[in-house]
Amino acid sequence: MTAPADTTPPPGPALGSDPAAAPDLGPVLGSDLSLVPAVRPILLDAGGVQVSGLLAEPAGVHDGTGGAPRAVIVAVHGRGMCADYFNGLTDPLNSLLTLGARLGHTVLALDRPGYGLSARQLPDGHSLGEQAVVLHTALAAFAQTHPTGAGFFLAAHSDGGKVAFHMAAAEAGGSLLGLDVNGCGWQYNPEARHFPDTLGGGASRLNWGPLHLYPPGTFRASRSLLQRVPRHEAAQTASWPAQYPRLAGRVTIPVRLTFAEHELWWRLGDDDLAEMTALLTAAPHVAVERLPEAGHNISLGHAARAYHVRAVAFLEECLLRGRAGTR
């Protein structure tokens, strides 16, 4: 993924600045930065693979003065990015990590195998399925040293969503609380099929959409997030439409799919989405949402808070279903 060169969008209203357009989320998200939970780096040994990432915990969990978190949100980044994608690039209040922690959940954003510190060990990366195995091992290691509450919930973006589907379809995936994926469909938009050229540097329009959807300074700041796409991961990009049907029927947890209003990577007609969700035959609940005023990189845009709040709300719904025994 590449950031547009020398482009900083014109100043635009922050999410929720129009009272008629959205409710005031201040009391929920918190506007006092002194109350924002700390985000710290973490390193997990996943069967010999060093998986790096970021961790935010509710007050009292880290020092043992409080109880266990409600659950653990596992954030899985997209192609060519890293765990910092979820940490409020230009505004700390847009961070999924701090929002989730303030609402009682631990948030664990992981660098996928081949990214972050594991890039030294895995310069060519792993296939999507192999990444899923490593991340399941990393979560097991995390659970040995950290309280996990009701369990793990996946929140994934773009190609991270592909890995998350592999995780949910695996035998260990049945113990997950739910799967929340944004920016990952089934069939590619014809405009996005020109691999590898589209992914090599000509994909700014696909990756971002209209520039006014992002806060000023986003594109310059996003360069700190960009990482080389590992070879084994890149090799599987074109095969995703064949992989998804083999995975979908094995997903047995609730699924929510979110697509930005200006999402351009995928075919997103009503029939396309109906065909995609129809393959999730074992999932007890499937929801599809379209997020207005958003481009592909939702968590970097003005719509980040709206999306993150909805993702946490879906987790809470999954907890309710689990309590009722209906998943």
Q: Mention every residue, 6+ apart, whose C-beta is less than 8 A from residue 217.
A: 8, 90
Long-range contacts of 91-96 (CB under 8 A, 24+ apart): 91/215, 91/304, 92/33, 92/36, 93/29, 93/30, 93/31, 93/33, 93/36, 93/305, 94/299, 94/304, 94/305, 94/308, 95/36, 95/39, 95/56, 95/308, 96/155, 96/299, 96/304, 96/308, 96/311
pLDDT digits (tens, 9 = 90+) for 313-324: 999 999 999 887
Closest to 112 in 3D by CA, of 137, 140, 82: 82
Residue 137 has pLDDT above 50, yes or no: yes
pLDDT digits (tens, 9 = 90+) for 148-191: 999 999 999 999 999 999 999 999 989 999 999 999 999 999 98
- Whole-model pTM? 0.88
Does residue 273 sit within a domain? Answer: yes
Q: How many domains does the chain have?
A: 1
Does residue 6 sit within a domain? Answer: no
Q: What is the pLDDT of residue 1?
A: 57
Does residue 26 sit within a domain? Answer: no
Residue 16 has pLDDT above 60, yes or no: no
Does residue 33 sit within a domain? Answer: no
Q: What is the pLDDT of residue 95?
A: 98
Residue 200 has pLDDT above 60, yes or no: no
Does residue 188 sit within a domain? Answer: yes
Does residue 10 sit within a domain? Answer: no
The token duo for 136 is: 């399941």
Q: What is the pLDDT of residue 6?
A: 37
**What SS3 state is found at 156?**
strand
Whole-number Å distance between alpha carbons of 73 and 156: 10
Does residue 250 sit within a domain? Answer: yes
Whole-number Å distance between alpha carbons of 49 and 273: 36
We report the CATH number of the domain holding residue 46 as 3.40.50.1820
Does residue 90 sit within a domain? Answer: yes
Closest to 318 in 3D by CA, of 120, 192, 180, 214: 180
Per the structure, the complete domain to which residue 179 belongs is given by 38-324
Q: What is the pLDDT of residue 67?
A: 86
- Between helix 159-169 and helix 240-248 the angle, nearest 10°, is 30
Residue 311 has pLDDT above 80, yes or no: yes
Q: What is the pLDDT of residue 166?
A: 99
Residue 22 has pLDDT above 60, yes or no: no
pLDDT digits (tens, 9 = 90+) for 144-155: 999 999 999 999
Q: What pLDDT band is residue 196 in, cutting at 50, 70 and 90?
A: low
